[in-house]
Amino acid sequence: MSHEPIKGASSDDKPEEFILEELEISAPPPIEEKVVAESSHSNGWSSLAYFTQIGFTIAVSVLLGVLIGRFLDRRLGTDPWLLLLFSLLGVLVALYYIYRISKRFSK
């Protein structure tokens, strides 16, 4: 950066970097350092949140399938069949939501 005066400017004009120092404005940290600092801090918590979400998704999906199947089996007298069907459906729903969660996590 040359410090030649601009046409029409007085010789008392200061270069741009000195003006920034007077205003106490500093340049932002390099992008690489900022990304590393943010990712190392938030990566642990976001990973924990995703694993917790996966655990709850599996538990709730399978439990709802079992409860609905058991309820319908008692009502309709088809003892093991609807329980098995809705349990399998709960597992499939859990797998689908795990796929969606993992796809979102990988972005």
pLDDT per position in the chain (107 positions), as tens?
555 555 555 555 555 555 555 556 566 666 665 554 455 556 778 778 888 988 999 999 999 999 999 999 999 999 889 999 999 999 999 999 999 988 887 76
Contact 82, 69 (CB under 8 A): yes
pTM for the complete prediction?
0.56
Calpha distance 36→38 (Å, rounded): 6
